[in-house]
Chains A and B, each alone.
Chain A
Amino acid sequence: MFSALRFLRRFCSFLLLSYFVTFSAISLATPTQSNTLSISNAFEFNSIDPSKYGHVYTRMQILETLLNVDEKGNLVAALAKSWQVMDEAKRWRLTLREDVRFHDGALMDAQAVVNSLNIAREKHGVLRKAPVKSIQVIDTNTVEITLTRPYVILGAVLAHYSTGILEPGSYNQEGEVIVLSGTGPYQLYQYAPPHKLVVKKFDNYWGKKASIPYASYLTGHRAESRTMQARSGQADIVFGLNPASLPLLKRLPTLTVHSNPIPRTIALKLNSTHEFLKEIEARQALSLAINRSGIAKGVLRIPGAQAEQLLPASMADWYLTDVSESADSLAQAEKLLASIGWKKNAQGTLEREGKAFELTLITYADRPELTVVATALQDQWKALGVKLTINITNSSAIPAGHHDGSLEVALMARNYGFIANPLGVILSDFNQSGGGDWGAMNWHNDDMQGLLNKLEQTTDTQAFHRLSQQVARLIYQERPMIPVSYYVQQTAVNKRVKGFRFDPFERSFFLNEMEFVK
């Protein structure tokens, strides 16, 4: 028995020793709560490659791009202090800042920039899709990009996270990123994928230097956990709050809650050659039967977020000001369907030529709100006489279903600010093959293709506005996609932090502009 006790004693000592060794090492290396701005967000990261998780590193301000965009989507200088668009947007010349250092101390020059851009071109991303002919060094501080055809959104492409500039030594011979040596006001300090990232301020930053020594990013998968992190003060900035928790958080004297609209829309993608969806009237009727205000208020709990158009009002070029939600829309929807031969049977389901109006909708669970919105749509379309089956799957089933033709209807959250100029997303979502992986499907409209071709080459802002309004109207009238609701980013910020501002394009957390209240 004594040997048993001895064993227990030794085991306990071993356990205590292991704790001490493990945690004393971690504690010493970890920045403290008083010098660290802690951020909690829902999304994980698994790689330091900008083509994969660059959005995390631009937000944490490790990685910077040649150009930036302001909150209205206008291009502004970043690592390039100026740029010239020549030969009808076929040649772009960028002049680099002269005093920019990478985190390892090396000076940024045109060679480093060309190296990063050429590597980005080889990988999946927006630069690979651009009609780039060559990227050349003109002199130490000048880079020139030549295109095979005019491409006005190249500026927005150069502001995309996947085109971030890294020091040449950050890549191995195969172009894989092995070290994240960027130019931002913060440098990578601790990298523990997929949950935790800590950055440390970079004293040799070329622009506004950070005042907060460290910032950490922690993935909190559950909205409940993130809400509690905000309440307890463990996290200074918490993104992606559940709207149901907002009234409580707003009452807390330690927090400020920010609600910012973002250019992401919950929308339905329809297969326009499906035998029930090929008529414009059918798509219009399905759109009319959606009670958007009800979904925004009762399901998403964001009153006013209902979306009649794909792009939000903040993207003025693409937003029609003369469109409003129609009254008595269910009756109108029924009338439209009756006009193309649909009649309700004894069970209340629409029928035409002996076939019931039945559709299968796919959506994905990465964004939990989509599942709930799908069930609301199921109920609302049932009132119209349309039977909807819902399949919850992986997000990749949408592009896969688009290509193999099996997709009927998909519900998704589309980010129209993925490239700062929405034309980039519109071009890929409504291209000449009848749509795009995350856009229309088998929707062919000659006017649309003509308009998009012109838009790609239009540098004049008034002409651009006129053309994009025509595109928005075509999408609104023919409904190859049906918008449901806009997103609003709900953020809680602890009052010990001042200087917080939200980037609607979600490119930066602006950490270097924030400071702790003394």
Chain B
Amino acid sequence: MKDILLKRLLQLLAVVWGVGTLTFILMRALPGDMAYRIAASRYGHDNVDAQAATLVREELGLDANPFLLYINWLFDLLQFKLGDSLVSGTPVIDSVQHMLGYSVLLAVTGLFISILIAIPLGLLSAWKGNPIDNAVMAFSSVVRAMPVFVIGVIFLMLFALHWNWFPVAGFGTPAHLVLPALTLALSLAAVSNRVVKSSAQRVFKSSFYTFAQVKGLSKWRTFHRHGIRNIALPVVAFFGIQLISMIEGIVMIESLFSWPGIGHGLAHAIFARDIPVIQGAALIMGVLFVLLNTLIDLLCYWIDPRAGDVKGERA
């Protein structure tokens, strides 16, 4: 376990430096005048002109040597300072905290609901065989083939317009979370139930599972003692990957439901060339990526300590 944590700590430092540097280079390499881009986001397109761009350029010192700017950024980072947004002037940490908080809330809720859907469906498919499996497979394919935006619109039509149970868009109350989380959950469960099914089928067909039943254990006891842990390992790893990709990539859902998440915020920051926000958001997401991966590793280690032992022996 110590090995895992040490390795992850080194990864974390490499990710922080790598993501920040890469973002800095890429954003400066993009075509178009940064001062105009920032001015357009600050003042709106009715009010952006050469005067606004000149003001922005002078205020932010955009003509300064990029290498010096990079060194300054690195020096600030060593002091845990992420700087201020070039557009709003507010500290990057405040905006990222606000956006990331909402993204994590939506992602964790979505994942939690998807687990509630995927595990029973996956197990049922593996247990009962073809008739149910085919139906679940068809359902999963249809859901997965639909853009997540369409699933969201269907939910909105049903739950917000027809029955008027939940609000269409916005944030601030638990009711606002329901439809975006459900949309996300259904789209995730469409894939993860297949992973659960395939993992469960592998275990059900294994010799150790058959042996447990042959030696006289009941179906439930076999499942309880020999099934759950073995099925859980790949499933937990997959849920971990889903959680990470969700935090970064749920722009469509955030946009449809006016949810103030980081995916949407990051997209806007890229259009606006708000480099500190892009760097700050990418950096925090990189850190989160490593932390979640570590958490998943630890969880997998806890489920199956043998994996750690093998690594330990090799080391």
Contacts and interface: CB of A to CB of B under 8 A. Distances in A.
Contact of B42 (A1, A26, A27, A47): A47
Nearest to B98: A192
A513 interface: no
A15 interface: yes
Contact of B172 (A30, A228, A364): A30
A449 B229 CA distance: 82
Interface in B145-174: 153, 156-157, 160-161, 164, 167-174
A71 interface: no
B271 interface: yes
Contacts of A228: 156-157, 160-161, 168-169
What are the nearest 6 A-B pairs in CB distance? A396-B36, A395-B45, A396-B40, A46-B88, A437-B49, A228-B168
B40 to A, nearest CB: 4
Contacts of B40: 394-396
Contacts of B153: 224
Contact of A15 (B44, B45, B89, B108): B108
Given A195-B170, A222-B255, A399-B53, 11 more contacts: A1-B224, A44-B268, A124-B39, A196-B172, A221-B255, A224-B153, A394-B40, A394-B271, A396-B36, A396-B48, A399-B49
Interface stretch (A98-106, A205-213, A230-238): A230-238
B243 to A, nearest CB: 13
Contact of B260 (A49, A194, A402, A436): A194
Interface in A179-232: 192-196, 218-222, 224-225, 228-229, 231-232
Contacts of A124: 39, 42-43, 47, 51-52, 55
Contact of B36 (A27, A51, A194, A400): A400
A232 B167 CA distance: 8
Interface in B5-46: 32-33, 36-37, 39-46
The DSSP consensus for interface residues of chain B is: helix
B260 A221 contact: no
Contacts of A220: 169, 258
Give the most central of B88, B95, B172: most A CB within 10 Å: B172
B42 A52 contact: yes
Given A366-B45, A397-B36, A438-B49, A30 B228 contact: no
B135 interface: no
B256 interface: yes
Contacts of B171: 195-196
B172 A26 contact: yes
B224 A393 contact: no
A428 interface: yes
Contacts of A128: 51
16 contacts: A15-B108, A15-B112, A30-B173, A124-B51, A124-B52, A192-B98, A196-B170, A224-B256, A225-B257, A228-B169, A229-B168, A234-B169, A394-B36, A395-B48, A400-B53, A418-B47
B169 A428 contact: no
A4 to B, nearest CB: 7
Given A218-B170, A220-B258, A415 B39 contact: no
B89 A47 contact: yes
Interface residues of B, number: 58
A28 to B, nearest CB: 11
Contacts of A53: 44
Contacts of A52: 42-44
A335 interface: no
Interface in B61-94: 85, 87-90
A201 B295 CA distance: 48
A218 B169 contact: yes
B51 A195 contact: no
B217 interface: no
B150 to A, nearest CB: 11
A23 B90 CA distance: 25
A15 B171 CA distance: 18
Contacts, number: 152
A477 to B, nearest CB: 26
B225 interface: yes
B268 A219 contact: no
A415 B173 contact: no
B138 interface: no
Contacts of B288: none
Interface in B169-228: 169-174, 224-225, 228
Contacts of B87: 46-47
Question: Which of A46, A123, A196 neighbours the largest number of chain B CB atoms within 10 Å of its CB?
Answer: A46
B4 interface: no
B53 A396 contact: yes
B237 interface: no
B60 interface: no
Contacts of B1: none
Contact of B43 (A51, A225, A234, A403): A51
A195 B260 contact: yes
Contacts of B39: 124, 396
A176 interface: yes
A191 to B, nearest CB: 11
A234 B170 contact: yes
Contacts of A44: 268
A43 B303 CA distance: 48
A125 interface: yes
